[in-house]
Amino acid sequence: MLVRLALHAMGTRFELVLEGDEDGPGAEAYLRAAGEVALAEVEQVDARLSLFRRDSLLSHIQRNAAEQPVSVDPETFALFELCAQVCEATEGSFDPTIAPLMRAYLLHDETATTPLLTLEQARECVGWKKRVQLLADRRIAFSAPGTALDLGAIAKGHALDLAIEVLRDAGITRALMHGGTSTVAAIGHPLGREGWPIALGAGPNAPRVLLCDDCLAVSAPGARSVQHEGRRVDHVLDPREGLPVQGALVAATLSRSAAEADAWSTALLVNADPKGLPPHMESLIGMTDQEDERVPTHWFHRPRITCTGLSGFCDIPQSRQATPLQTV
């Protein structure tokens, strides 16, 4: 039996498919109830980490952390620790302190709780290492006012991780869940198949992945954009330069943690160099040599070094080994 559920949260749509062994109304009620608890986790993360809700924990942190350290729950603190870790490993290609810059480029709508600064002021506010301190007793502090966090590149993955944990806890053995089609998490595989088949984009040449007990994240710059001073600004910014991303066309990652996959896919879009990518992760970066081309003409693949045997990218056209790769 298959049960499908969905939820609007975090400015996108989450969708969930659950497969059970048995048929009948009891089995359906059980699968649905499990799915609802998983989606309730997503709602809970949205309520906790949304930049667009004044009553979220994140808004509470933004209001207070520059004046005094703010205590947070263990789940949120673990997420901040992961942010610090990925920020360091990617040398700032992933950096949640980018929020004031996103707002300055008008990539956040009016309801955002981020301060509205000039581009110059906003650039000053970016930099996790200098701006954010994680303290004992699960407290977070900002070193200066104006600091703000945009967890948009990691929160969907975080929500999926918590949702998947709840599903496993409820005894679910086969499920696929995604947030906005860009972050995906799988439990087990569909009956009679080795994994959940997913294509990276449309067209016959799109690379694929068979996802099994694993998570996938895909980032692309063109998903949303605004006009800023007469030019198009895509929704992914380079935190190091304070400019729109000009590197890869698409970056995809695999990890057992959806949050980690999520953060790294954004980082690799900003800087197409998987140098610091943890050995348990896999990445695939699509690029082009031609200007104005929006479809990748070649792909760089970095397979898993440890944890092999899990899901992997396949059907990659014109793949090139990606280590080492020059920064673009």
Binding other proteins by CB under 8 A: which of 11, 12, 15, 57? 57
Asked if residues 140 and 77 have their Cβ atoms less than 8 Å apart, the reply is: yes
Asked if residues 122 and 242 have their Cβ atoms less than 8 Å apart, the reply is: yes
Binding other proteins by CB under 8 A: which of 4, 13, 73, 135? 73
313 counts as binding other proteins under rule CB under 8 A: no
Alpha-carbon span 328 to 322, nearest angstrom: 13
DSSP states along 3-42: EEEEEEETTEEEEEEEE-S--SHHHHHHHHHHHHHHHHHH
Which range touches other proteins (CB under 8 A), out of 95-103, 119-127, 166-174, 194-202? 166-174
Q: For residues 58 and 83, which CB has a smaller minimum distance to other proteins in the complex? A: 58
Which range touches other proteins (CB under 8 A), out of 53-61, 151-159, 231-239, 251-259? 53-61
Supply 260's token pair: 């980690």
Q: For residues 170 and 307, which CB has a smaller minimum distance to other proteins in the complex? A: 170
Q: For residues 67 and 293, which CB has a smaller minimum distance to other proteins in the complex? A: 67
Which range touches other proteins (CB under 8 A), out of 118-126, 167-175, 181-189, 205-213? 167-175
Residue 316 CB contacts under 8 Å (≥ 6 apart), including other chains = 207, 284, 299, 301
Site for other proteins, residues 269 to 298, rule: CB under 8 A: none
64 counts as binding other proteins under rule CB under 8 A: yes
Q: For residues 32 and 298, which CB has a smaller minimum distance to other proteins in the complex? A: 32
**Three-class secondary structure assignment of 264-305:** HHHHHHHCCCCCCCCCCCEEEEEECCCCCCCCCCEEEEECCC
Pick from 174, 175, 255, 178: nearest CA to 214: 255
Site for other proteins, residues 168 to 197, rule: CB under 8 A: 169-171
Asked if residues 207 and 295 have their Cβ atoms less than 8 Å apart, the reply is: no
The values of phi and psi at residue 289, to 5°, are -90, -15
Site for other proteins, residues 113 to 132, rule: CB under 8 A: 113
307 counts as binding other proteins under rule CB under 8 A: no
99 counts as binding other proteins under rule CB under 8 A: no
Q: Tell whether the torsion through CA atoms of 277, 279, 284 and 288 is positive or negative.
A: positive
Give the binding site for other proteins (CB under 8 A). 25-26, 28-34, 36-37, 40, 47-48, 53-55, 57, 59-60, 63-64, 71-75, 110, 113, 169-171
